[in-house]
Amino acid sequence: MRFITGKQIERRTFLKGVGATVSLPFLDAMVPAGRGSAAAMSEFDRTRFVAIELVHGCAGSNDWGASQNLWAPAEVGRNFDLSPSALSPLDPWRDYLTIVSNTDVRMAEAFEPNEIGGDHFRSSAVFLTQSHPKQTESSDVFVGTSMDQLYAQRFGQDTPIPSMQLCIENVDQSGGCAYGYSCVYTDSLSWASPTEPLPMVRDPRVAFDMLFGAGGTPEERAVRRRTSSSILDWINDDMRSLRRRLGPNDHERLDRYLDNVREIERRIQGIEAQNTSGEQRELPEAPAGVPDSFSEHMRLMFDLQALAFASDMTRVFALKTGRDASARVYPESGSDTPFHPASHHGGVEERVLDFAKINQYHVSMLPYFLEKLSEIQEGDSTMLDKSMIVFGSPMADGNLHNHRRCPLVVLGKGNGTLDGNLHVRAPDGTPMSNAMLSIMHKLGMDDMEHFGDSTGEMALTMPRTSTDAR
Amino acid sequence: MKTLITAIATTATVLTYAAVAWAPAEDDFALAGESRVHDAAVASTSGLVFDDPGAEGELIEQYCVRCHSDRRLQGNLSLEEFDPTAPSNDPVLAEKVVVKLRAEMMPPPGARRPAGDSLTALVESLESRLDAAAAADPNPGGRTFQRLNRAEYQRSVKDLLGLEIDAGDYLPLDTKSNNFDNIADVQMVSPTLLDAYLTAAAEISRLAVGNPTATPLERQYRIPRWVSQSERVEGAPFGTRGGTSLVHTFPADGEYVFRFSFHHETTGTAVGNGRSSLATPGDPEQVEISIDGERVALLDIDRWMHVENPEGVEMRTEPIRVTAGPKRVTAAFVKRMEGPVQDLVRPHDWSLASTAIAGEYGVMQLPHMRDLVIAGPWDVTGVSDHPIRDRIFSCYPDQPEQRPDEARACAAEIIDDLGPEAFRRPLTDEDREALLGFYDMGLEEGGFEIGVRTALEAILASPNFVFRFEEAPAQIELGETYRVSDEDLASRLSYFLWGLPPDDELRSLAAEDRLSDPETLEAQVLRMLGDERSEALSTRFASQWLRLQDLEKVHPDVRFAPDYHQQLADAMLRETQLFFTHLVREDESMFELYTADYTFVNERLARHYDIPGVSGDQFRRVDYPYDYRRGILGHGSVLTLTSHAGRTSPVLRGKWIMEVVMGTPPPPPPPGVPPLEETSDEATEGRMLTTKERMEVHRANPTCNACHRFIDPLGLALDSYDMTGKWRIKENGVPLETNGELYDGTQIDGPAALQQALLDRPVLLLRAFTSNLMAYALGRRVEYYDQPVIRGIVRQAEEEDYRISSFVLGVVQSDAFQMQRAGAVSTAAANQH
């Protein structure tokens, strides 16, 4: 094994093969080589969608940083130069890279005097909803349905698990969310409805068990599923009679819980159905827990996503890479400044560059994932061809807490809906939600007319001309 | 007639930022004439009263409304419509005013203030009017049902089965609110959560009963790199050093492999390797694996281990036969010598300060264990009995296959035994029938034991275990108030004081509907406080209130604090927890939190605090041999968790005091400001700036100063404690300056003066404590309508010399604790200013 100086690699925590098996419904064996084109397959094989939040903006959204092209390159179109940019680790993957620059996330701004200063605690909830969160510490939270959930709700029922939410950083910091905002705004990217934040899973082991079930053998997994099914039946009956004895404060929560019971029942049935139709394939060893290092943790989460896509357990992920106010140090980035202080660079050039190092380090996590996805061959195309990865931030210049000219890139080919190798610069004042609306159209939700504060669509591919070789 | 208000003309030089802070006075005017305040009408604690009914309104008009007007809206609030003679017309606003006045933060420093006690009179009259209105129309508030969070789930499983688990292995993170993890309304449900509880139930039931069909699985226990490897770790056999010691539950009798890896340098060689190793080829370092104190393996370390080796920097035992059940497993180095290890001029306590510098020639290093993995079982031969099984199988049928009826009767007995404790109520016939159904299902799957296990799995997965449902009377209408049942009161009580389900005594009192009888209730509270399970008030309540969990997020920079390591951090946490437990158990005054001239230390912590004469790992009570360290503001835990990695932070410490101790959180910083203490790091005139000078640099900025003149002096007074809470007199070679001026003009120059300044505001400290205790007890944030109750509890506690039990009793006896209002799910939004 090659060892990279300065990085501590724990071999064992990476997923590798062991005895357990899982069923794969769609294998390259099922589509004879050369027959299934990506477009043909996409009819029954939906785009895999991943949304990753790069928290708290980037150095390239600072005025000076933008002039140095620390994020968005100077050139639009195909011949852009990534060398000064934090995106440079993606240069080898530029055929799969669509840079969408100069969009705004104004729903993350303060609307009322009360909300000033609450950016850290509000922004993450805005990223995938492009809606303005209601300021409350109580359960009456309200923002919007997130794009990953809109997609999962429309098409996710085809897979056992409609979507999964993952995070890297611990979310239970005291004083970590404040200023009148419930912690769920700070900690949840995914919202099943404007009032239903979805918890994010940090432990790769827990995520693994959720995807593939706990238990060492197929028989053991089957016993567990049967028992769980019966328990859910019982809960369903039991809670219906209990409901009458609870007070009005409790009805809504109990009803939501009963919806969850039905959802888990559906998942179990989905897995059973897959098991009777699919082909058994060896499953890797479950990861042991949460690794110390950021890069190890990210790679494990990417392993899990690639594995989930390969086995078609789910097609939708949201991944939160940190928290705005985190003091985490990323020594591997070459900067030893804690994240949050680094983001408050005060516009000092040297310190903006320091923050850019951290941004670049975060970006440098992505090629590992792209490589994993490109290694999964299905018919003519790879999983990377079938995937769409949105990577961006609801914050722009973290130093000023502004939300104009936010970072956003889209990776993958989205089942032929994206060209890649493109930098699109939006006209000033374009909401990020315009790009997201277009993304959702490309995901097959072409009847959506608006999303968040969108004002229209945004072209994410080159205009097709007769001379266009592609 | 008393004249309480005289005119003072002050030039207000308050400065603004954004729209959130308090305002400058654009045009100053002097208060002409006098307001008269007479004895009469409103009773208040200090006996100060207003006579003239217009006087209070006048006071607000003159001293508040210029900034808090409809137009200027400073602090985002207007007092133009506020009628101090009828504060209950807008109790939310009135309570905000009360807090600011009680804290003496308003009018802000530099602004005109009325003379004498008239502000005190004003706040007392506001309070008594609010209290009277609340007494006339009490609102106990309400919340939705709670669920067992990680900590409660873990503790409940331990209580029910005797099984130690880490709930973090199964359950997603808890959402916090108000810094507590048990606030009902943010404990939302989701499929992820339900799935997690189902998985947990499956795993735990298998661990508890044992799993004769267990397949090999791995469980990894990480060792934080901050654990010093030159000292013995807690639980490990004497004569060892470093490594780890833990209780692991083995699912079956079988063979297990123990693997452990080591830290390595950036180049890939193990730390403490060949060059820097103390060991020689003939006398290698050894790792001992022991189970319940008995050695099961002894391995020589290959000091040339390298990450590029096939096995990396990792070692493993041969398969070792272990019987089922919980066992203490230790993997630790054999200790060969005493004394410092590194060949440095001044050896560090933390033995792994860096993996980059480790390989220096001439610097000796120890190998560092990184994790322990327990893998297995292979070659399972069955499941031996162990204490957890003994607890579950209160009966065991002979030949269950031959006598299925006897077996089923025994299963029913087990269900009757575990069920009521798990559900915190007697089982119904339906429960019994359903659970026996699960027994039958498992019986078919694999016999009697699997049957019992399946019933246990159902019990643990049931919402009756996971959720703390509270039943309401039939036909309750929204807005109606009702008393919670005795059964539910028992659960509220036990999770509040013990973090556990109610014990037999509570449950039987509840079953007879006697628990709510005031005398019985008081007796039970006192019994529970005296019981050792009340440690939960310390490890659950106080730890969250004081934010002790943040300690694990701070890792002081090794260049400044080379002696800081995990064992010291653990000792700091334990100190504060033991101290709070002591206050509860001995029923001391709440003020002891801030004044105690004693603490609880072991040898390591005593050395940190310069307390002589303490040796050994045992914690004990000691009196401070000096007069500066007092109460929790002298605890290493609090001082470290409010520091940055590389320096102390008066800002973080001041903010912590305002939020935690005083209950007056500062408003959020506006966007676009640089990190406060980084505004100037450079030296001047050939020397480094002191912390105070750096503070002054940023406070020269009016935007910052608007809030930081409140925050900084509080924290600066503690600057004679370094970032790990060690006493110091110099910083960067320059004498410390810890003197400053509190927002009300009080001069403070160090911990003692700060302590006095805080004690001079007893009302703030008492209410902050009570309000946190209440939020934790109720599982909901306290709201404006709880403030009269909090004031009442404080008043009652005064008669009991502010003993901890008087606050606990006050909370338990309150309507908020014993009653629910239907539909009164909290709606309070931001309550920041």
How far are the Cα atoms of A407, B395, B553 from residue B570, in angstroms, in the given order? 41, 41, 13
**If you ran DSSP here, which 8-state letter would residue A132 be given?**
P
Interface of A with B in 288-307 (CB under 8 A): 288-289, 292
Please report which confidence band the pLDDT of residue A21 belongs to, taking 50, 70 and 90 as the band edges: very low
pLDDT of residue A150: 96
* Mean local confidence (pLDDT), B473-501: 92
> B673 vs A348, A397, A399, B668, CA distance in Å?
12, 12, 7, 11
Flag whether pLDDT at B269 surpasses 90: no
Tell if the CB–CB gap between B176 and A214 is shorter than 8 Å: no
Helix (H, G, I), strand (E, B) or coil at B558: coil
A and B: number of Cβ contacts within 8 A = 290
pLDDT above 50 (res A40): no
Query: Quick one: pLDDT at residue B27?
Result: 33
When CB atoms are compared, the residue of A1, A5, A340 closest to B308 is A1
Q: What is the DSSP letter of A402?
A: -
Residue A219, pLDDT > 90, answer no
* pLDDT of res. A311: 82
Neighbours of B213 (CB within 10 A): 16
CA distance B661 to chain A (A): 14
Q: What is the mean pLDDT of residues B240-249?
A: 94
Mutate to test the interface with A, among B147, B218, B820 (most CBs of A within 10 A): B218
Give the model's pLDDT for residue A211: 85
Binary contact (B469, A341; C-beta < 8 A): no
Contact partners, residue B577, CB within 8 Å, separation at least 6: B535, B538, B539, B542, B543, B548
pLDDT > 90? residue B576: yes
Contact B549/A119, CB-based, under 8 Å?
Answer: no
- DSSP single-letter state for residue B230: S
Specify the pLDDT at position B317. Answer: 94
Look up the pTM and report it: 0.80
Under an 8 A CB cutoff, do B192 and A288 touch?
A: no
Q: Say which range, A398-412, B166-180, B198-212, B346-360, has the weakest mean pLDDT.
A: B346-360
pLDDT for residue B824 is more than 80? no
Contacts of B674 in chain A (CB under 8 A): 344, 346, 399
Share of chain B above pLDDT 90, in %: 58
- pLDDT of amino acid A13: 38
Could you list the beta-strand ranges (E) of B132-252. Answer: 146-147, 217-222, 240-250
Quickly state the pLDDT bin for B14 (edges 50, 70, 90): very low
Reply yes or no on whether the pLDDT at B38 is more than 60.
no
Alpha helices by DSSP H, B555-600: 566-585, 592-595
Length of chain A: 470
Six-digit token string for B824 = 């009164």
Q: Which residues of A touch B175 (CB under 8 A)?
A: 171-172, 182-184, 187, 199
Instruction: Sort out which chain A residues have CB atoms less than 8 A from B675's CB and list them.
Output: 340-341, 344
Select from B173, B213, B454 the Cβ nearest to the Cβ of A227: B454
Provide the pLDDT confidence category of residue A169 given band limits of 50, 70 and 90.
confident
Contact criterion met (CB < 8 Å) for A203 and B168: yes
Q: How far apart are CA B738 and CA B692, in angstroms?
A: 7
Task: Flag whether residue A246 sits within 8 Å of chain B, measured between CB atoms.
Answer: yes
Both tokens of B628, joined, read 């500066």
- Residue A99's H or E segment, with its range, is strand A97-104
Q: Looking at the predicted structure, is the pLDDT value of residue B329 above 80?
A: yes
pLDDT band at B684 (very low <50, low <70, confident <90, very high): low
Taking CA atoms, B364 is separated from B135, B273, B276, in Å, by 71, 9, 5
**Which of A390-394, A396-400, B503-507, B597-601 is least confident?**
A396-400
Contact A138 B826 (CB under 8 A): yes
Distance CA A224, CA A220 (A): 6
Q: What is the C-alpha to C-alpha distance for residues B161 and B147, in angstroms, rounded to an integer?
A: 19
Q: Do A247 and B441 touch (CB under 8 A)?
A: no
Residue pLDDT, tens place only, A306-340: 988 988 889 999 999 988 888 788 888 888 888 88
What's the alpha-carbon Rg for chain A, to the nearest Å? 22
pLDDT for residue A279 is more than 70: no
3-state secondary structure of A249: helix
Please indicate whether, in this complex, the C-beta atoms of A139 and B185 are within 8 angstroms of each other: yes
Residue B7 scores a pLDDT above 80: no
Alpha carbon distance B54, B57 (integer Å): 5
Confidence of residue B387 (pLDDT cuts 50, 70, 90): very high
Q: Which of B70, B92, B194 to mutate to test the interface with A (most CBs of A within 10 A)?
A: B194
Q: Which of A1, A187, A246 sits opposite B175 (nearest CB)?
A: A187
> A117, B203: Cβ pair inside 8 Å?
no
Percent of chain A with pLDDT over 70: 84
Q: How near does any CA of chain A get to the CA of B660, in Å?
A: 10
pLDDT, one tens digit per residue, over A77-116 is 999 999 999 999 999 999 999 999 999 999 999 998 888 8
Question: Do B550 and A234 count as a contact with CB atoms less than 8 A apart?
Answer: no
Decide: A190 and A146 in contact? Cβ < 8 Å: yes
Q: How confident is the model at residue B258 (pLDDT cuts 50, 70, 90)?
A: very high
Contact B609, B701 (CB under 8 A): no
Residue B20 confidence (pLDDT): 34
Contact A165 B192 (CB under 8 A): yes
**What's the confidence (pLDDT) of residue B24?**
34
Which residue reads 């009263």 in tokens? B49
Is A279 an 8 Å CB contact of chain B?
no
pLDDT value of position A291: 74
Q: Which residue's entry shows tokens 């001239």?
A: B597
Interface of B with A in 160-199 (CB under 8 A): 168-170, 172-179, 181, 185-186, 188-196, 198-199
User: Whole-number mean pLDDT of chain A?
Assistant: 83
pLDDT digits (tens, 9 = 90+) for B91-138: 999 999 999 999 989 888 888 888 888 899 999 999 999 999 999 999
Closest partner residue to A199 among B179, B192, B463, by Cβ?
B192
CA atoms of B48 and B101, how far apart (whole Å): 15
> What's residue B766's pLDDT?
97
Question: Token match 């991943």: residue?
Answer: A50
Out of A296-305, B27-36, B596-605, least confident range: B27-36
Which residues of chain A have a CB within 8 Å of the CB of B672?
399-401
Between positions 325 and 384 of B, the ones with CB within 8 A of A are: 355, 373
Q: Per-residue confidence at B826, pLDDT binned at 50, 70, 90?
A: very low
The per-residue pLDDT for B503 is 94
B70 burial via Cβ count (<10 Å: 0-12, 13-18, 19+): exposed
CB contact under 8 A, A116 and B544: no
User: What pLDDT, in 10s, does the model give residues B160-193?
Assistant: 999 999 998 888 888 888 889 999 988 888 888 9
**Type of residue at B363:** V
Query: Measured between alpha carbons, how far is B179 from B542 in angstroms, rounded to an integer?
Result: 11
The DSSP-derived string for B702-761 is HHHHHHHHHHHHHHHTTTTB-TTS-B-SEETTEE----EE-TTS-EE-SHHHHHHHHHT-
Whether A401 and B671 lie within 8 Å, measured CB to CB? yes
Give the pLDDT mean for B728-747: 86
pLDDT tens, B768-799? 999 999 999 999 999 999 999 999 999 999 99
* Contact flag B179-A174 (C-beta cutoff 8 Å): yes
- Determine the Cα–Cα distance for residues A165 and A201; give it in Å rounded to an integer: 6
pLDDT at B200 over 80: yes
**Averaged pLDDT for residues A37-54:** 71
From B144-148, B698-702, B750-754, the region with the lowest mean pLDDT:
B698-702
What is the pLDDT at residue A239? 92
Residue in A with minimal Cα distance to B471: A246
Closest-CA residue in chain A for B672? A400
Q: Do B144 and A230 touch (CB under 8 A)?
A: no
- A1/B189 Cβ within 8 A: no
Give the separation between CA B483 and CA B817, rounded to whole angstroms: 9
Q: Does B76 touch chain A (CB under 8 A)?
A: yes
Q: What are phi and psi of A429, to 5 degrees?
A: 85, 5
Q: Chain A: nearest CA to B179, how far in angstroms?
A: 5
Q: Does B709 touch chain A (CB under 8 A)?
A: no
A177 CB near a chain B CB, below 8 Å? yes
Give me the pLDDT at residue A394, please. Answer: 96
Average pLDDT, chain B: 86
Residues of B in contact with A206 (CB under 8 A): 169-170, 172, 196
CB proximity A252 to B under 8 Å: yes
**Amino acid letter, B688:** M
What pLDDT, on the 0 to 100 scale, is given for residue A9? Answer: 31
Verify whether the Cβ–Cβ distance B268 to A288 is below 8 Å. no
Pick the range with the lowest mean pLDDT from A357-371, B495-509, B525-539, B665-679: B665-679
Q: How far apart are CA A256 and CA A237, in angstroms?
A: 15
State the pLDDT at residue A41. 43
**What is the average pLDDT across B468-473?**
91
Interchain contact B220–A (C-beta under 8 A): yes
Residue A470 has pLDDT above 50, yes or no: no
Average confidence (pLDDT) over B259-279 = 77
Check whether A76 has a pLDDT greater than 90. Answer: yes
Per the CB < 8 A criterion, the answer to whether A313 and A160 are in contact is yes
Q: Is there a contact between B265 and B384 (Cβ–Cβ < 8 Å)?
A: no
Rg over alpha carbons for chain B, rounded to the nearest Å, is 31
Q: What is the pLDDT of residue B274?
A: 65
Q: What is the reported pLDDT for A250?
A: 87
